Amino acid sequence: MADARRIAFTLNGRPVQVEAMPHHSLVEMLQTQFGLTGARESCGQGLCGCCTVLVDGKPVSGCLCLAVFVDGADIVTIEHLDAQGLDPVQEAFIEAGAFQCGYCTPGFVLTVKSLLARNPDPADEEIKDYLSGNLCRCAAYPEILDAVRLAARKMKAGATGRI
């Protein structure tokens, strides 16, 4: 890999170093070099949210972010939440039936984690605005709104809001 660049970052709570090609996207690097397939490239244009990962706590379209740009960053993928047992947001999505096929769910869950970390009691309009970069082709939007409200209540009631 003559053109590869060595980058170092935190991935799901642990420091890592990797040789990244300058043209590889973040989602491509996560899949090929770390076997993390929860973030999926769907539209390839940053419009659907299926490839969402958290970079320094903010939702980022992994299909548009070049891997070399995350040097020094803190990256969280859906696999991190799964490794720790169900997160309150994941529990809320299950309880509210906020998914059908599940393809978009990891991106929604991570985006909701970011939203609730910033505002633990968002109004419906703020939820809709914050989630506007995520698309559900199965149209589970009412259930997704219910899940966000339920997750907020769960986190207020004492469940951990860990990332």
Residue whose pair of structure tokens reads 């935190």 in the numeric block:
10
Asked if residue 160 has pLDDT above 80, the reply is: no
Question: Is pLDDT of 104 > 70?
Answer: yes
Comparing CA positions, the residue from 58, 40, 31, 32 lying closest to residue 113 is 58
pTM across the whole model? 0.91
- Considering only CA atoms, which of 71, 85, 87 is closest in space to residue 163? 87
pLDDT tens across 125-157, in order? 999 999 999 988 888 889 999 999 999 999 988
Quick one: which of 49, 45, 39, 38 has its CA closest to 64?
45
pLDDT given at position 97: 94
Considering only residues 44 and 21, tell me which one the structure prediction assigns the higher pLDDT: 21
Q: What is the pLDDT of residue 138?
A: 86
pLDDT at 161 over 60: no
Tell me the backbone φ, ψ of residue 117, rounded to 5 degrees.
-70, -30
Q: Are strands 5-11 and 52-55 parallel, antiparallel or unpaired?
A: unpaired
Residue 9 in contact with residue 71, Cβ under 8 Å? yes
DSSP per position, the chain? -TT-EEEEEEETTEEEEEEE-TT-BHHHHHHHHH---SS--SSSSSSS-TTEEEETTEEEETTTSBGGGGTT-EEE-HHHHHHTS--HHHHHHHHHT--SS-SSHHHHHHHHHHHHHH-SS--HHHHHHHGGG---TT--HHHHHHHHHHHHHHHHTT-----
**Would you state the pLDDT for residue 1?**
57
Domains of the chain: 5-81 (3.10.20.30), 86-156 (1.10.150.120)
Q: What is the pLDDT of residue 162?
A: 53
pLDDT at 142: 92
At 137 the pLDDT is: 86
